[in-house]
Structure 1
Amino acid sequence: MTTNDPLGRLSEEGVAVWLDDLSRDRLTTGNLQTLVDEKHVVGVTTNPSIFQAAITKSSLYDDDLRRHAGLGSDADAAVRDLTTDDVRAAADLFTPVAERSSNGDGRVSIEVDPRLAHDTEGTIAQARELWSEVDRPNVYVKIPATKAGLPAITATIAAGISVNVTLIFSIDRYREVMDAYQAGLEQRLAAGESIDGIASVASFFVSRVDSEIDKRLEAVGTDEALALRGKSAVANARLAYAAYLEVVGQERWQRLEQAGAQRQRPLWASTSTKNPDYPDTLYVDDLVAPETVNTMPEATIEAVADHGSIAGDTVTPNIDNARETLAAVSAAGVDLDDVSAVLEREGVEKFETSWNDLLESVNAKLEAAK
């Protein structure tokens, strides 16, 4: 066991460390390579908010924007070019990691336009476009786990495109996501196509669950309710892992695995703590389990490296306790189904807002460069 290296211990426990961020600055300064070399980072996730921050806060995109202005490109075309360029460069950086990996590490995620979250056919079409434009095998196309996203996941997997399913908040929806992944693999096999190299992760969001449920517990205000604050997100994720273990133990999955399918690992997303009263490594230390991914902002990676407490599997021994915790939250008057619905809606809206802000900013730069 690695000593004095919590991130190394995390990796040894079967948790892949991914960075939840990407920018041209990280690529050009060597920061991303340093995180790979020194912090055990084996993948990258992006989302519309990440690209909005990256492109609007850096001058490194200005030459490309002037070029696009000269070509008469609109903001959508320019943003597509800038983001796919960065993802392609990051994928190239991670190629050695991907070549060593047998479970889908060494990959970079790029999300479909968040305005397509409720458009199945539009999502399928753009997933194909992004896969073709980035043109690297070690990429995940991110598709939200909305009702419209579920058939898009199946179709995209069936087309041979690896998928990172995002914005999962409930166990029921997570089960639907796992079903969608398996259905895609089954369709591909039935068509006589290879499933070699197809990978998927299911991004189960964590900290936002505590933020929403804590607010509701505080509104209830009883001592019993207040004592449950800060416990729901970890419990919810632990039950997601229990669902994962159940599915991979079933005959349906085992047939796919025998045909060469890769497991769709649970990915813990939104793992920086939003409440300053909670330990800044809470959603890493308490979610250690084999065959998982934890995607973190750099500040959380540094916090884990400095003082993370990685002491073996903290998920499977605590699944019964997780059920009891969520039962108590429900008994306190919190509607967990409503929590998931609110978080999904707000997640989609947040990404749409970031994307629209990015397009507006890029459009202004394109106009100024003409």
Structure 2
Amino acid sequence: MYRVLIVDDDRAVRYMLKRFKCWDLFGFMLADEACDGKEALNKLQADEFDIVISDIKMPGIDGIEFLSELRSMKNDICVLFLSTHSDFSYAKQGIRLGVFDYLIKPLKDEALCEALERVKVYLDGKNKQKGSSERGSIFLENIQAFYSKNDEKKLVSDILSGSLDAVNKGRDICNNLIDFMGVDPARLAILLENIISDIDESIYKLFPWIKEVESIVSIGVFKGDDTILIERQFLDYISSWVRIISKYELHQPDSLMRKICEYVLNHIEDDVKVETIANELYVNRDYIGKVFKQKAGYHLSEYITKVKMEHAKYLMSKGRYKNYEISEKLGYKKPDYFTQLFKGYTGYTPTEYRKFTV
């Protein structure tokens, strides 16, 4: 029999778990219980267990801290989290720490039976491979058959190329996950949140200054508990990245184009002119303008204005600066000239833009 430790600060939940009928069916016995992560750690040091079912949110040491402490102690015990739909952004940390699976509250008998069946397969296989130093999660290992780091790298590559193929790749990832897990909005949201986090990290590492022109890219926690809605939000997130990469010409493969764009974005609050960029890159002014026009289809001076106006929109969204202060920050000495450029770019004066959109 596999020994189970239940960890939850709610006595009613612990009582409810003990009343389920499927423990014996799959060879599990409820060996002990704890009211928080600290008590659970003490019990794991004093006794042997095969599986821990723990709430995520608890006073004192919560589920994430508890699992983190276990992993730092090189304890690879199988851990299942009890969570609610509101725990998605919090729960995704568990994936990085190797949580085996998630059980959504209020827990149903069928869900527990399905989880225990997977745990039994995992523990049986683990016992057959005793002595092996490998550690992992059947849930996450099986996911790799349908969604791998290569899939994620290809998705990032498609986003960086400014290609709508990225949306198709994202749709394939969603469909493969759904095929594997069935219609399970909770798990799908957790896994897609994890993918979003990795994509944001990869792109911000390449282009950290994007944060200075775009207020927010990631959609954050998924809204709703419908699989179709979650997939649509994920694809909208991918589309937003493709749009941003294309808007700032970051999809251009030409190395000179990349250097031009990066210079403008990195000096967004300086008095940037075509001559300035040419001098910095040691390239003839006419040549640099010609290359940009050929690759982007519009003038470099227009690109500089576009980037500055996007940064102006970003600064307005923060609500900390007056219009004349933004004008000064962008290198425009005359606020009236800034207003003229801003209206030409957005269709609104800065004051109108704040009223209608901020």
Shorter-chain TM band: under 0.3
The TM-score with structure 1 as length reference comes to 0.27
The TM-score with structure 2 as length reference comes to 0.27
Q: Which has the higher contact order (CA 8 A, sep 6+)?
A: 1
